[in-house]
């Protein structure tokens, strides 16, 4: 039976630690979150981020813009926040309404305020092995929980299902930088179970319920479930068939209570790191 990796407890511990550090500061780190439109899932995520930012002792600034916000209006808000000394981190909640392309905005956020690590300068630094100003939050949280549970990474086979810019691609670089042998699978991958059965570390980030079943998992593997799916009864589920996979995995993250809270903890860590960077420059 697998060890359940408790992302909620670890996240609370990380945020408590940040709170202690912040209580000794003269000023407070400032996190600005921009939400465009009314997508219910995004509204829940933003509320959660605000709650934890306040809990950590930060200033939290939520900018809720209407669904019909123009490109110029959003660019103007980003520029204002870039120039605001009270703001250390800027997060543009994705996805944006279909009319707007994230690519038109993510590279306009000051890379030193890019708390999500999505600016091309930060993703470029990750690829070349330099230290980005901030690391993408979900991949950072995944590495943190693997380390917490002392899962060896170097020389291990890591398989990631999902190739998004926010999870699969940056995570592949982090695992590669830690000397894993990394395979990225996606919707066009053939014979997926043959690939996943080789994984010492299996990460699923597809948003498809029951994407990972017991027959796809190697005995003793660490299984990380990034997926967030709301089922018909309104319950949150992940990609992994948790009840059956936990019978053979060595470690497994639950949904909820796994990678979701780790992502928020990473966001808080990034905000404090960017605050320290800005203070060091003053």
216 binds ligand NAD (CB under 6 A): no
Catalytic, 93? Answer yes
Judged by beta carbon, residue 77 or residue 251, the one nearer ligand NAD is: 251
Q: Return the residue of 42, 181, 189, 198 that touches ligand NAD, per CB under 6 A.
A: 189
Which residue among 206, 253, 266, 270 contacts ligand NAD (CB under 6 A)? 206
Dist CA 173 CA 179 (whole Å):
10
CB of 111 to ligand NAD, least distance (A): 21
CB nearest ligand NAD: which residue? 207
3-state SS, residue 183: strand
Q: Which is nearer to ligand NAD, 236 or 277 (CB)?
A: 236
Long-range Cβ contact pairs of 96-103 (< 8 A, separation 24 or more): 96/36, 96/37, 97/36, 97/37, 97/67, 97/69, 100/36, 100/69, 100/71, 100/74
137-154 burial, b at 16+ Cβ within 10 Å, e below that, comes to bbbbbbbbbbebeebebe
Task: Mark the segment that binds ligand NAD (CB under 6 A) among 19-27, 79-87, 112-120, 179-187.
Answer: 179-187
Under DSSP, is residue 54 helix (H, G, I), strand (E, B) or coil? helix
Stretch that binds ligand NAD, among 23-31, 101-109, 145-153, 255-263 (CB under 6 A): 255-263
Give the SS3 label for residue 124: helix
Q: One symbol per residue from 137 to 176: x for binding ligand NAD (CB under 6 A), - otherwise; what is it?
A: -x----------------------xxxx-xxx--------
Contact 4, 246 (CB under 8 A): yes
């Amino acid at each position: 039976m697998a060890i359940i990796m408790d992302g909620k407890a670890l996240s609370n511990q990380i945020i408590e630690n940040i709170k202690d550090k912040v209580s000794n500061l003269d000023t407070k780190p400032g996190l600005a979150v921009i939400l465009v439109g009314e997508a219910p899932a995004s509204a829940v995520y933003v509320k959660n981020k605000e709650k934890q930012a306040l809990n950590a002792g930060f200033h939290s600034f939520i900018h809720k813009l209407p669904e019909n916000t123009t490109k110029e209006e959003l660019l103007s808000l980003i520029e204002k926040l870039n120039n605001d000394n009270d703001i250390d981190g800027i997060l543009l909640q994705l996805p944006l309404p279909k009319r707007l392309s994230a690519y038109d905005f993510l590279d306009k956020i000051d890379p030193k305020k890019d708390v999500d690590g999505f600016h091309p300068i930060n993703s470029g630094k990750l690829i070349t092995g330099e230290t980005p100003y901030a690391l993408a939050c979900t991949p950072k949280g995944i590495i943190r929980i693997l380390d917490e549970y002392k899962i060896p990474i170097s020389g291990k086979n890591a398989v990631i299902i999902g190739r998004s810019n926010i999870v699969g691609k940056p995570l592949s670089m982090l695992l590669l930088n830690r000397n894993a042998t990394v395979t990225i699978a996606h919707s066009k991958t053939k014979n997926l179970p043959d690939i996943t059965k080789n994984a010492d570390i299996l990460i699923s980030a597809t948003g498809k319920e029951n994407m990972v079943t017991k027959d796809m998992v190697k005995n003793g593997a660490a299984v990380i479930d990034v997926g967030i799916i709301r089922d018909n009864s309104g319950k949150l589920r992940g990609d992994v068939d948790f009840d059956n996979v936990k019978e053979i995995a060595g470690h497994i993250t639950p949904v909820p209570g796994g990678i979701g809270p780790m992502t928020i903890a990473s966001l808080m860590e990034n905000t404090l790191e960017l605050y320290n960077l800005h203070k060091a420059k003053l």
